[in-house]
């Protein structure tokens, strides 16, 4: 998907535009893009309807001609629209604002299956747990204390993750993983894509709670901190996860894994892909997907998935299972490896 970036001008200065900024209208108030396009197309050819921001209640209607936009603005601005649930629309002209960062955020196709991503070592299992098991897992962590970060809450089991160093202290063990995740770990061991699971002993768990609109900065889990299999169970709400691989291997994110820092990214020489993670799905990062691709959750309240707007729930909770590494990493991707650089 590739959407242009628009903004509402601070002052109109008498200038018209083929693009309209329409407030009080969108998926968040129960109005689909198809319904919006149907109403506005009566004034001319609509090039597209786009999200104006992450609220879900403001859209951009883009016409092929300025006169169509002017006719729609004059007819609909400030008046109840019967075809859109009787809502009063607030409309202004909008201008296109192409920027590299906006293209980064929006111009990516979202896959529904890991097999469509063509990233070796990436796997996704839908409905890994049942709806009942999901509620039991959420209730279990909600009965335990959370630690607050800048924009979300976390819990650590087995070993605490040290965000300042992006590593763990193997000398400070918190204890066994809680019994309420034992069925999940048993199910992981039975997965067909984990290789020799008999020696796989997951001993570290991080639980993250993401409020709506909160994401995760691009990062690769520190090679020296964890072994080569990382499992992430999504509960309560959906999200899109992006994967980025950089041709310039010297570019390494300085943001700690799990922090909320903004990261500057190069303007060329990198590849990106995205996948939709529905509730109760399990994602596995292994091999190239784990060692060479940054993963990232965009800071959106609404994700566009195959032209459908998907609103994130009141929260998303992830259970990330890992095995703490006891020695240096000897992976096949030294350019991304802190043990081999």
pLDDT tens by residue, the chain, 341 residues: 334 444 555 444 456 789 999 998 888 788 888 889 999 999 999 888 887 776 778 888 989 899 999 999 999 999 899 889 888 999 999 875 543 333 334 568 899 999 999 999 999 999 999 999 999 999 999 999 999 988 889 999 999 988 878 889 888 899 999 999 999 999 998 887 676 554 578 999 999 999 988 888 888 999 999 999 999 999 999 999 999 988 755 444 444 444 444 444 555 567 889 999 999 999 999 999 999 999 999 888 778 887 777 878 789 999 999 999 989 999 999 988 989 87
Structure-block tokens of residue 174 = 């918190």
Task: Measure Cα distances from 225 to 203, 222, 254, 327 in Å.
Answer: 12, 5, 16, 9
- Give the span between the Cα atoms of 336 and 44, in whole angstroms: 52
Q: How far apart are CA 331 and CA 222, in angstroms?
A: 12
Residue 209's pLDDT is what? 95
pLDDT value of position 166:
84
Overall residue count recorded for the chain in this entry? 341
Q: Round to whole Å and give the CA distance between 127 and 268.
A: 37
The 10 Å CB-count burial string (b at 16+, else e) for 209-245 is bbeeebbbbbbbbbbebbbbbbbbbbbbbbbbbbbbb
Res 54: pLDDT = 65
Q: What is the pLDDT of residue 259?
A: 44
Using CA atoms, how far apart are residues 268 and 262, in angstroms rounded to an integer? 18
Give the integer Cα–Cα distance in Å for 217 and 261. Answer: 6
Q: Are 16 and 65 in contact (CB under 8 A)?
A: no
Using CA atoms, how far apart are residues 242 and 18, in angstroms rounded to an integer? 32
User: Where are the alpha helices (H) located in 66-210, listed in sequence order?
Assistant: 66-76, 100-106, 131-142, 182-189
33-40 helix and 66-76 helix, angle to the nearest 10 degrees:
100
List, in order, residues 6 or more apart from 77 with CB less than 8 Å away. 89, 90, 91
Cα(321)–Cα(19) distance, integer angstroms: 46
- Which of the 8 DSSP states describes residue 201? -
Structural tokens at position 9: 């001008």
- Tell me the C-alpha distance between 67 and 206, whole Å: 55
So what's the pLDDT on residue 311?
A: 79
- The pLDDT value recorded for residue 257 is 41
Yes or no: say if 218 and 244 are a contact pair by the CB < 8 Å rule.
yes
Q: What pLDDT sits at residue 108?
A: 80
HSE-CB at 20 with a 13 A cutoff on CA atoms is: 33
What pLDDT score does 135 carry? 97
- In which residue are the tokens 């784990």 written? 290
Which helix (H) or strand (E) segment holds residue 283: the answer is strand 282-285
Q: What share of the chain is helix, strand, coil (3-state, %, to 5)?
A: 20, 35, 45
- Structure token digits, residue 240: 């899109």
Q: What pLDDT shows up at residue 47?
A: 85
Q: Which 8-state DSSP code applies to residue 177?
A: P
Which residues on neighbouring strands pair with residue 167, listed in sequence order?
A: 162
Nearest residue to 52 (alpha-carbon basis) of 5, 90, 12, 97:
5
């Amino acid at each position: 998907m590739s959407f242009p970036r628009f903004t509402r001008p601070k002052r109109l200065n008498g200038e018209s535009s083929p693009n309209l900024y329409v407030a009080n209208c969108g998926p968040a108030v129960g109005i689909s893009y198809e319904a919006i396009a149907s109403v506005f197309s009566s004034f001319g050819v609509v090039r597209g309807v786009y999200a104006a921001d992450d609220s879900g209640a403001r859209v951009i209607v883009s016409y092929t001609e300025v006169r169509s936009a002017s006719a729609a603005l004059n007819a609909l601005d400030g008046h109840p629209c019967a075809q859109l649930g009787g809502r009063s629309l607030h409309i202004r002209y909008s201008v296109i604002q192409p920027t590299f960062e906006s293209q980064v955020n929006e111009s990516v196709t979202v896959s529904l299956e890991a097999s469509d991503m063509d990233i070796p070592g990436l796997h996704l299992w839908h409905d890994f747990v049942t709806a009942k098991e999901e509620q039991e897992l959420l209730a279990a962590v909600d009965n335990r204390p959370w630690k607050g970060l800048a924009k979300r809450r976390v819990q650590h089991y087995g070993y605490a993750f040290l965000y300042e160093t992006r590593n763990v202290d193997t000398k400070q063990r918190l204890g066994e993983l809680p019994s309420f995740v034992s069925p999940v770990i048993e199910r992981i061991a039975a997965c067909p894509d984990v290789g020799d699971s008999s020696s796989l002993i997951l001993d570290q768990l991080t639980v993250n709670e993401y409020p709506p609109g909160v994401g995760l900065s691009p990062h690769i889990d520190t090679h020296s901190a964890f072994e080569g299999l990382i499992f992430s169970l999504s509960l309560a709400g959906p999200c899109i996860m992006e994967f980025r691989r950089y041709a310039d291997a010297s570019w390494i994110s300085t943001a700690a894994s799990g922090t909320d820092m903004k990261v500057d990214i190069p303007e060329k020489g990198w590849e990106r892909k995205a996948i939709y993670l529905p509730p109760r799905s399990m994602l596995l990062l292994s091999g190239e997907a784990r060692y060479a691709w940054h993963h990232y959750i965009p800071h959106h309240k609404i994700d566009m998935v195959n032209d459908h707007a998907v609103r994130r729930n009141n929260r998303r909770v992830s259970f990330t299972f890992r095995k703490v590494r006891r020695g240096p990493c000897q992976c096949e991707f030294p350019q991304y490896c802190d043990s081999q650089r």
